[in-house]
Amino acid sequence: MLYVSTRNADLTATLSQALRRGLAPDGGLYVPDRFPTESGAGFEGASALGAIATRFLAPFFQGDALEGELPAIVREAFDFPVPLVPLPAADDAAVLELFHGPTAAFKDFGARFLAACLGRLHRDARRPLTILVATSGDTGGAVAAAFHGRPGVEVVVLYPRGLVSPRQEAQLTCWGGNVRALSVAGTFDDCQRLVKAAFADPALAARRELSSANSINVGRLLPQACYYVLASLATWRRTGRPANFIVPSGNLGNVLACVWARRVGLPIGDLVLAFNANRTVPDYLATGEWRPRDSVATLASAMDVGNPSNMERLRHLYPAWRELAQAVSSVTVSDEEIRARIRTDRAALGQTWCPHTATAAEAYARLPAARRAAGPWVLVATAHPAKFPETVEPLIGAEVPVPAALARLLALPRQVTEIPATLEALGAVLA
């Protein structure tokens, strides 16, 4: 299996090379040069995430230096539960809880997997690897946790000042050691622009071996596809029908992982993308006009993305606008609708949502009755509500218990550097 740039199929790389580089030399994103063909029947006898992930990922690792280490990488990365919980009082719906990792967000899957891969690839390197990561909330904390203390690797996390929740910021800034947190005077899109500009800067490339842990790195997307394989197989085995997913969406990495699992041949039906007030993708699906814009701050801060990187991969897979519009659908959810859904589902279902998961719950509630009843539906829960107490607790009138792993991080002191949103300022930090 080789990986090619979305901008030039002649620029190929092995998986290990794609993981190390993050971006292709022409600024494109790496995608597999082909997708293996699989079906639910090919996973007979596998029900746990580790067994399913090893089997699903094997073709993507074929011929690579990491091929023989795949089982160990999976064991190291996926050491926490991934429950698929039936939604009470619903037709046929379940919640895929992706927040049981060390930083209580779905980003733990990709971050830990990428760290396990790069740790092995960089074992005998002569100079440190610098991981640059832009975050709108959860990615940075997951990457910091996954790489903290690993020899030969330095992590630099860029986040938009004042635009992440207090508990998210605590997770971004509590590390020290080989992890540096940069509070950027700008939006997530500014942070993402700085990371891409750093990769394109010859002077920085000469001083540092750079890689990325954002979802621009294919090593984040492949492991995320595994939980869609897990949930779709469990649903198919139970009902004999494909699972339909509703996914909170921002930079589109989580969505793309599901699209890739479906492209391989797993039993996945409809795919509904739930967005907050950042409408770049829904407007494109409706009109065919791609108009990136400045991001808008919302309660679902990790989804505040106005120019999502992974749209490049989606458009590479579906070059014609109408193809993509037929492959996925979307809804947009306002802050007031997020608040209302958190209140309503707590009272009616006993479920406590984070603001991001609430967008998926709202999208499910809006489905026409016949479509909802046709099921089965899987709502993707991307973060633990305890990460957003200032939003959630006043709405439900109760405290949200904090998972032990998260509580430990929140108790650590903060270490952060403030910078303007310029490449010069980032370059000075990396000097």
Please compute the mean of the pLDDT values over residues 386-394 and round it to a whole number: 95
Tell me, yes or no, whether 342 lies in a domain. yes
Q: What is the pLDDT of residues 272-288, one digit of tens each?
A: 999 999 999 999 999 99
Which is more confident, 140 or 354?
Answer: 354
The helix/strand/coil state of 257 is: helix
What is residue 339's predicted lDDT score, i.e. its pLDDT? 98
What is residue 125's predicted lDDT score, i.e. its pLDDT? 66
Tell me, yes or no, whether 153 lies in a domain. no
Tell me, yes or no, whether 374 lies in a domain. yes
Tell me, yes or no, whether 67 lies in a domain. no
Tell me, yes or no, whether 259 lies in a domain. yes
266/38 Cα distance (integer angstroms)? 7
- Counted domains in the chain: 1
> How far separated are the first and last CA of the chain, in Å rounded?
36
Query: What is the domain range of residue 299?
Result: 81-104+219-398
Q: What is the pLDDT of residues 93-139, one digit of tens each?
A: 999 999 999 999 999 999 999 999 998 988 766 778 899 999 877 78
Q: Does the pLDDT of residue 164 top 80, yes or no?
A: yes
What is residue 192's predicted lDDT score, i.e. its pLDDT? 87
Tell me, yes or no, whether 420 lies in a domain. no
Q: What is the pLDDT of residues 353-368, one digit of tens each?
A: 999 999 999 999 999 9
Phi then psi for residue 108, to 5 deg, are -60, -35
Tell me, yes or no, whether 140 lies in a domain. no
CATH code for the domain in which residue 383 is found: 3.40.50.1100
32/42 Cα distance (integer angstroms)? 20
The helix/strand/coil state of 117 is: helix
Q: What is the pTM of this model?
A: 0.91
